[in-house]
A and B are shown apart, each in its own frame.
Chain A
């Protein structure tokens, strides 16, 4: 069984914490699809979102190994079907008279936007689930992608279910 799992991890925001978390994945041979990190509403606490493909057994091992790390405060496997999952893409594509209209149409349909426009290049910003971003990239390939970067996913459960450390005011 090869499922996509998304795990939310609250960690103490101190030097080296990202090394510890990513090092654990490498050392134990867990392959991950994406890992993002950012500050939270609570001072001193950062939130890491990890996504990976695997089976239940691997998921359980990842969770228990994360829980053992000293700087990890909370770990939760997010229910994919009840979670808002987003990723952001910045993509630079050639701007030519022949392709411009087609690109603009695609941007419109994907509800993305052009954030930079020069005579030779367009920079497009797109937010969405990974599959939507994949589809957009596939489409843009024909127009000549100059460079791109995507953030990896961030995710929050729907409703009032929250990942908390107990430290929050």
Chain B
């Protein structure tokens, strides 16, 4: 029996295991939305407030589950509004299928109403993309999109479907099961043996891992390797949550705002085993200095990452879970007492430094604040600090809560401090650094998992997509939004303080926005917290319910994210106090 192209799209999405689509209607996708309506008992549609929010929601859905996220938007502005979301997913290797409508084939290329060449626009930020002009190819193209999105190193794929292809009729043969990912290349035995030899000869081995451990499902294998060879571990921002924060060998995130202990430990290592990481500039600092003291074994599923940013002594291309397991088999159990002692000393030093920094934060006067805020005049001990807020939230939060961040200082504080327990519980925009990522991603993660979701955000980031509060309230998202509100664009302000002679150009927000009232206006609950006592009260209230709850936490505008490797600098330039 022939069915419409629009119906073929919905049937194929269902066939591919998609249970939720995030999207926004428009002229060129009315037919698709009509079919979604007719199939509403088999597939759920979450209407967001803006297409960007829908893209981030599909991204959050994918990050929290490992499944392919699906987003749907109309032609023209609907499609271009997806781009930041798609680029965010691309930089962080998130499997996504974006479906866009377009004007009918006969109108393409004529600058028709709401026409945009979205295939051209999205080409540099997708793994691949398609425009389907022949309805007979529609189902298979969508299947191919899912296959590409989840194969190898995952990523977003866009499928553009002109209106006449949606309205046309064609036979549809259900595929029966979702397409499987392409078989991945397994690591060469010879190279793994060479890696085992290098490990056997190392005195101070160190494991640096990235997001590939999460997307490759290789947490257990990486931990087993670290334990067998007695190697401390650190990770990139994207690697966070792959290893429990309290693992005795785990030193935390490293890089520009990484932990002191992990950054120094890596530099003092003689062998760095890099697993599913890409050596981004934020993770390495100055490239020439970065690997001066150690050699590198680099294992990654994407051959193009090997030797791309940092040259490695040994490169191994292959599936990480398999490679790490086989490598663990090949190596003898090892211990490095002197190295372990040094690591313990670094940990102790870091603890002392952190404690001192926290004390200093309490002492700091609030006089430099450009905008008088309601905390001015509070006794120092009553003021909230970022770590204190994160600690208080983690003490209240369920063990399996999903932590989402926006981008900026709050993101780094959460990355440094939140005691993450299991993979896929920390969702953050790493590569693209997308302010405004958080609201959509948190809604998507909560929709996908049903688990309590906590968004750490800043007053800057939250302002970008706060309109998604409407979606959260409509969907009754179990979402606690914690704003670390310093009245400034804190990360840029920190750079201005350090490198631009305190010229606070356009980073002082001086806005009168009352986020509690904003929350209430959208139908959510909200409370403001300026002191530890108020924070405790707000958290008690927030965690006693399961709807959308905003807590506006007032912090000082001159809280800094430390330590910091200055841009273009190296570990030698580490800033630990200001």
Residues of A within 8 A of B (CB): 15-16, 19-20, 23, 27, 57, 60-61, 64-65, 67-71
Chain B residues with Cβ below 8 Å from A70 are 127-128, 148
A61 near B124 (CB under 8 angstroms)?
no
| B241 → A minimal CB distance (Å) | 27
Inter-chain contacts of A57 with B (CB < 8 A): 307, 311
For the complex of A and B, the 6 pairs showing the least CB-CB separation, nearest first, are: A64-B304, A70-B128, A27-B124, A64-B303, A65-B304, A68-B304
**Bound complex: CA of A69 vs CA of B120, how far in Å?**
15
Q: Mark B284-324, 1 if CB is under 8 A from A, else 0.
A: 00000000000000000011101110010000000000000
B123 touches A61 (CB 8 A): no
New A-B pairs, 13, CB < 8 Å, besides A16-B123, A23-B124, A64-B304: A15-B131, A20-B123, A27-B124, A57-B307, A57-B311, A61-B308, A64-B303, A64-B308, A65-B304, A67-B304, A68-B303, A70-B148, A71-B128
Q: Which residues of chain B (117-168) have a CB below 8 Å from chain A?
A: 119-120, 123-124, 127-128, 131, 148
Chain B nearest CB from A123 CB (Å) reads 34
Contacts of A27 in B (CB 8 A): 124
Given contacts A20-B123, A23-B123, A70-B128, whether A60 and B148 have CB atoms under 8 Å apart is: no
Q: List chain B positions with a Cβ less than 8 A from chain A.
A: 119-120, 123-124, 127-128, 131, 148, 302-304, 306-308, 311
Residues of A within 8 A of B304 (CB): 61, 64-65, 67-68
CA distance A20 to B128 in the complex (A): 9
Residues of A contacting B: mostly: helix
CB of A16 within 8 A of CB of B307, answer no
**19 A–B contact pairs at CB < 8 A?**
A15-B131, A16-B123, A19-B123, A23-B123, A57-B307, A60-B307, A61-B304, A61-B307, A61-B308, A64-B304, A64-B306, A64-B308, A65-B304, A67-B303, A67-B304, A68-B303, A70-B128, A70-B148, A71-B128
User: Residues of B contacting A71 with CB < 8 Å?
Assistant: 128
Pair count A-B, CB < 8 A: 30
Q: Give the CA-CA distance A20 to B131 in the complex, in Å.
A: 14
**Within 8 Å CB of B303, what residues of A?**
64, 67-68
- B148–A19 contact, CB under 8 A? no
- With A and B bound together, what is the CA distance between A60 and B305 in angstroms? 11
Chain A: minimal CB distance from B200 (Å): 28
| Chain A residues whose CB sits within 8 angstroms of the CB of B128 once the complex forms | 69-71
B212 to chain A, nearest CB (A): 15
With a CB–CB cut-off of 8 A, which chain B residues contact A20?
A: 123
CB of B165 to closest CB in A, whole Å:
15
By a CB distance below 8 angstroms, the chain B residues around A15 are 131
Greatest chain A CB density within 10 A among B148, B304, B306 is at B304
How long is the Cα–Cα vector from A88 to B103 in the complex, in angstroms? Answer: 41
Whether the Cβ atoms of B302 and A68 lie closer than 8 Å is yes
Expressed in whole angstroms, the Cα–Cα distance for A61 and B305 within the complex equals 9
User: What's the nearest-Cβ distance from chain B to residue A1, in Å?
Assistant: 15
Instruction: Compute how far the CA of A110 lies from the CA of B105 in the bound complex, rounded to whole angstroms.
Output: 50
Which of A69, A70, A71 counts the most B-chain CB atoms under 10 A from its CB?
A: A70
Are A16 and B119 neighbours in the complex by a CB distance under 8 Å? yes
Chain B residues, Cβ within 8 Å of A67 = 303-304
Which residues of chain B have C-beta atoms less than 8 A from A60's C-beta?
A: 307
Q: A67 to B120: give the CA distance in the assembly, Å.
A: 20
Q: Closest chain B residue to A64 by CB distance? A: B304
Cβ contacts under 8 Å, A61 to chain B = 304, 307-308
Chain A residues positioned under 8 Å from B131 (CB to CB): 15
A27 and B124 CA atoms in complex are apart in Å by 7
B431 to chain A, nearest CB (A): 15
Report chain A residues within 8 Å CB of B148: 70
Q: In whole Å, how far is B208's beta carbon from the nearest beta carbon of chain A?
A: 21
Complex Cα distance A27/B90, Å? 14
Complex-state Cα separation, A69 to B148, whole angstroms = 11
User: Is there contact, CB below 8 Å, between A19 and B120?
Assistant: yes
**B120 surroundings in chain A (CB, below 8 A):** 19
**Could you tell me the distance in whole angstroms from the C-beta of A12 to the nearest C-beta in chain B?**
11
Closest residue of chain A to B306 (Cβ to Cβ) is A64
Q: Chain B residue with minimal CB distance to A27?
A: B124
Nearest-CB residue, chain B, relative to A60: B307
Q: Report the separation of the CA atoms of residues A20 and B120 in the bound assembly, to the nearest whole angstrom.
A: 9
- A127→B240 CA distance, assembly (Å): 58
Provide the bound-state CA to CA distance between A108 and B123, in Å: 48
Q: How long is the Cα–Cα vector from A27 to B125 in the complex, in angstroms?
A: 10
Inside 8 A of A16's CB, which chain B residues have their CB?
A: 119, 123
- Complexed CA–CA distance, A138 and B455 (Å): 66
User: Complex: how many Å from CA A19 to CA B123?
Assistant: 9
What CA separation (Å) do A86 and B61 show in the bound complex? 52
A15 to chain B, nearest CB (A): 8
Alpha-carbon gap, A61 to B302, bound state (A):
12
The distance from the CB of B122 to the nearest CB of chain A, in whole angstroms, is: 11
Residue numbers in A under 8 Å from B119 (CB-CB): 16
CA distance A64 to B185 in the complex (A): 15
Inter-chain contacts of B124 with A (CB < 8 A): 23, 27
User: Once bound together, how far apart are the Cα atoms of A71 and B303, in whole Å?
Assistant: 17
Q: How far is the CB of B435 from chain A (nearest CB, A)?
A: 23
Which A residues are CB-close (under 8 A) to B306? 64
Nearest chain-B residue to A20 (Cβ)? Answer: B123
The distance in angstroms between the C-alpha atoms of A15 and B120, with both chains bound, is 11
Closest residue to A23 on the B side, CB-wise?
Answer: B123
- How far is B151's CA from A70's CA once the two chains are assembled, in angstroms? 11
Chain A nearest CB from B109 CB (Å) reads 12
With A and B bound together, what is the CA distance between A63 and B506 in angstroms? 43
B306 to chain A, nearest CB (A): 8
Separation in Å of the B45 CB from the closest CB of chain A? 28
- A57–B306 alpha-carbon span in the complex (Å): 11
User: Which residues from A are CB-within-8-Å of B308?
Assistant: 61, 64
Most buried by B among A15, A27, A60, A68: A68
